[in-house]
Structure 1
Amino acid sequence: MQNQITDPVQAVARTAWGEARGEGVRGMRAVMNVIANRAATPCWWGRDYLTVCLKAWQFSCWNENDPNRPKLLSVTGTDPQFRDALDLAAQLISRKLPDITQGSDHYFDTRTKTPAWADSNAYRCTIGHHAFYRLGPYGQEKNNG
């Protein structure tokens, strides 16, 4: 289904739900802010919401071996968190979702090992279990977040 997703709202909602549904609305919103910040600076990570979300190895929930992938491909609007993600994604696409990550374009789950790219000078904030960073378009290409 990943290759069949052509609607940016669906791509953004599924990515944020897959990455941060356990973090609630605020966590999903923060992931969407990263997607928007990447789309605003087109480069290797994609040129728009759809390509940013679906770029290989950027959001772990889309990785073939990730346990979230089958879930994000099959979730429907009957899931309350996914409905929230769809509402937030629509706001993002219409540019009505303010950035709560201070311009971040990367993040990682603080319950995992800190990635090499997580330079303290680039740190912006922590929301839930995710630490957010602004690395710019020249950050690491394979960073899962």
Structure 2
Amino acid sequence: MTALDLPRRASAFADQSLALDTLARTLWGEARGEGRHGMHAVASVILNRAARPGWWGRSVTEVCLRPRQFSCWLAGDPNRPKLLRVQPSDAAFALALEIAARALAGSLPDITHGSTHYHAVEVAPSWARGRAPCVVIGRHAFYNDIP
């Protein structure tokens, strides 16, 4: 390693650290009440989107922070201040960090059958009208046929 490699390595570490934190906070914000299986499923959707770059972004961080994609990041969401303050001492956030680390390491299998979209089962978004979810995990319905 040379001195020229240090900024590149530091930048890559910072990007990875930001991705881990952002993904974990998204999992916590979207599925903390769903436990390990539910957070795993949401992570699968985020990874599926990042693997197929499009309007939702080209990286895990971009996908998570894309406006109006994950309600936990909306400025008006009452849980957003909690999302920004949560610490690893919170058991659900510690679990989210574990799942996010596995996801970023490539060791988290896709349990959503390639889904790029999901919603809570108690809502009926217009984009899901006329479509059947490919899998329901906990209180979320997942779709792998949304363009």
Normalising by structure 2, report the TM-score. Answer: 0.85
Residue 129 of structure 1 is matched in structure 2 by: 139
Secondary structure at the aligned position of 1:123 is classed as coil
Cα offset for 1:83? 0.4
After TM superposition, the runs of 4+ consecutive aligned structure 1 residues lying more than 6 A away are none
Matches within 5 A, 1:1-145: 7-112=18-123, 114-121=124-131, 123-136=133-146, 138=147
Cα offset for 1:67? 1.4
Q: Distance in 2 between matches of 1:38 and 1:52?
A: 7
Structure 2 alignment gaps of length 5 or more? 1-14
The answer to whether the 8 Å contact 1:45/1:55 transfers is yes
Structure 1 or 2: larger helix share? 2
Secondary structure at the aligned position of 2:127 is classed as coil
Post-superposition CA distance 1:89-132 (Å, at most 9, x none) = 000001000011111100000122x1111155462100111000
Quote the RMSD (CA, aligned, Å): 1.5
Count of residue correspondences: 132
Secondary structure at the aligned position of 1:7 is classed as helix
Q: Distance in 1 between matches of 2:145 and 2:81?
A: 30
The answer to whether the 8 Å contact 1:122/1:135 transfers is no
Post-superposition CA distance 1:34-84 (Å, at most 9, x none) = 000000000100001010000000000000111121111000000011001
Residue 6 of structure 2 is matched in structure 1 by: none
Rate the CA distance shift 1:135–1:24 in 2: closer, same or farther, 3 A.
Answer: same
Aligned letter for 1:131?
A
Secondary structure at the aligned position of 1:99 is classed as coil
Q: Distance in 1 between matches of 2:78 and 2:46?
A: 21
Structure 1 alignment gaps of length 5 or more? 139-145
State, as a whole percentage, how many aligned pairs show the same letter: 52
